[in-house]
Amino acid sequence: MNAEIEEQEQTSFHSNVHSSTMGILNDNEDAESSPEPPELHYLDEYDSHLTRTGTEQQNINIDNKRDVSKETQSKLEKMDDSKLEENFKGQYLDHVPHTNSPPSLLPLFPSFSVVCIGHSSLYNHSTGIRGHDRTARFRSGSEYLLPWSVRLSVNTERWVREMQLIGANPTDQCLRNLQNGIAHGRTESSEKVKLFVGFDYECPRGHRFTCGEPAKPLRHRKDYGPLNQDAGPLLDADLPLWVTCPCRKPRIMAQLMRIHVVTPKAPVSVTLQPRIQMPDDDGYFFPGAVEGIELGWAKYYVCRLPYIYVGPNGRKSSYRPNSPLFKGRFLRQCISVRYLPISSS
């Protein structure tokens, strides 16, 4: 009985194969006799694509593009960069924020960036910037930030309490001021906080250095001990935007690209307001925030400045080796410090 069933299945299988083969031969004969392609049936678009040759598919794609509606074509045109700029012209700032720019418009792209790279303890004054960034190509002796001591008028008792609240130890002088204030009935005293500030220049070759004086690279040897030069005079002076790089010949210009700020571990608020002014310009470039950029305490911040300055008039200001030296300047007093109480009482 099983042998008969197997014989019938084999007979049926050979019969189906024979029929399929004959069907293929008949289709080939019809294709040779008739040059017209076979008519597509109810298969969906994806399945019908699988039965078409590459040339046929390309022709169909071209026809589909021609059948695109006018509304779709209008949307595609709006996606073009030039069309996008034309459609939204006057609704955003297409240049670096400037004091002569419309105050109600926001910039289309970021020109400045301020990044907190870590805690203030990340910077070690004995090793400088190379202590945490060994890949930076700083000139030897110019990889240090300058200390900046600032005195603030505070309520002594409240200052001591808030220093302990944030985990900072009050200085011996602060404790003496507190004792003297209690003995003589005084509540106010002058307390000192220390920041670290650095103006980082970089040339097209990748050489970097900080400046100790306007237009002069910092040169400090570790043999001389810790760098004690105060950053106050540097912050009170306008700094050139381009200076001569001390690298080997041929001489090339370095541009001010970064501002380093290490804030103190104290209840203070540090405000950063970089301002860059070009020759024959009554205004200046700035990040866009009129009130400045607020920096938190006990943090290490790096402010990246623009490489090319394009103003509202469309004029570009950037140094090129074959162009005259620009006299752009970084305006003074870009950093301010004030006492910011943490507790309400």
Is the model's pLDDT at 7 over the cut of 70? Answer: no
Q: Which pLDDT score, from 0 to 100, does residue 189 have?
A: 81
Q: Is-above-0.85 flag for pTM? A: no
Torsion angle, CA of 188/189/194/195, rounded to 10 degrees? 30
Q: Residue 213 — pLDDT band, cuts 50, 70, 90?
A: very high
Average pLDDT estimate for 307-318: 80
Task: Name the range with the highest mean pLDDT among 36-45, 212-221, 233-242.
Answer: 233-242
- Nearest-CA neighbor of 272 among 333, 334, 332? 334
- Where is pLDDT greater, at 54 or 126? 126
Q: How would you class 10 by CB atoms within 10 Å of its CB: exposed for 0-12, middle for 13-18, buried for 19 or more?
A: exposed
| Beta strand 188-202 pairing with 208-213 | antiparallel
Average pLDDT estimate for 211-230: 86
Q: Which pLDDT score, from 0 to 100, does residue 248 have?
A: 76
Q: pLDDT, tens digit, for every residue of 159-187?
A: 888 888 888 887 777 877 777 777 676 77
Q: Which pLDDT score, from 0 to 100, does residue 145 have?
A: 95
Question: Which helix (H) or strand (E) is 32 found in, with range?
Answer: helix 2-33
Domain-wise residue ranges, the chain? 113-339
Q: Order the strands of the 268-272 sheet from edge to edge.
A: 293-295, 268-272, 335-339
| Beta strand 309-310 pairing with 316-317 | antiparallel
Q: Which pLDDT score, from 0 to 100, does residue 253 have?
A: 87
Cα–Cα–Cα angle for 292, 294, 296, nearest 5°?
165
Average pLDDT, whole number, for the chain? 77
Dist. CA 306–CA 113, nearest whole Å: 9
Q: Which pLDDT score, from 0 to 100, does residue 120 have?
A: 95
Lowest mean pLDDT among 4-18, 247-261, 262-276, 278-292: 4-18
Dist. CA 222–CA 263, nearest whole Å: 24
Average pLDDT estimate for 123-149: 87
Q: pLDDT, tens digit, for every residue of 70-127?
A: 665 665 555 566 666 666 677 888 889 999 988 888 888 889 999 999 999 999 988 8
- Where is pLDDT greater, at 25 or 149? 149
